[in-house]
Structure 1
Amino acid sequence: MKYTQTTLDKLEDILGESEYVVRYERGTFQSGWCLLEAKRIVVLNKFLNIEGRINTLMEIIPQLSIDYDKLTLESQKLYEEVVKKSATAA
Structure 2
Amino acid sequence: MPIKYNKSYLDKLENIFAASEYHLRYEKGNFKSGYCILKDNKIVIINKYFTLEGKINALLEILKTLDFNPQSFENQKQQDFLIELKQTELKL
Q: TM-score range by the shorter chain?
A: 0.7 to 0.9
Higher helix share: 1
What is the aligned length? 86
Question: Shift of the alpha carbon at 1:42?
Answer: 0.4
Question: TM-score under structure 1 normalisation?
Answer: 0.81
Aligned-residue Cα RMSD (Å) equals 1.8
Find out whether 1:60 has 2:62 as its counterpart: yes
Percent of aligned positions with the same letter in both sequences? Answer: 35
Q: Which amino acid aligns with 1:13?
A: N
Answer whether contact 1:23 1:44 (CA < 8 A) is retained.
yes
Question: Shift of the alpha carbon at 1:65?
Answer: 4.9
2-structure distance, mates of 1:39, 1:67: 19
Q: Which amino acid aligns with 1:19?
A: E
User: Which ranges in structure 1 are unaligned for 5 or more consecutive residues?
Assistant: none
Q: Which amino acid aligns with 2:34?
A: C
Following superposition of structure 1 onto structure 2, how do residues 44-55 of structure 1 map, counting pairs within 5 Å? 44-55=46-57
Question: Shift of the alpha carbon at 1:56?
Answer: 0.7
Higher relative contact order (CA 8 A, sep 6+): 1
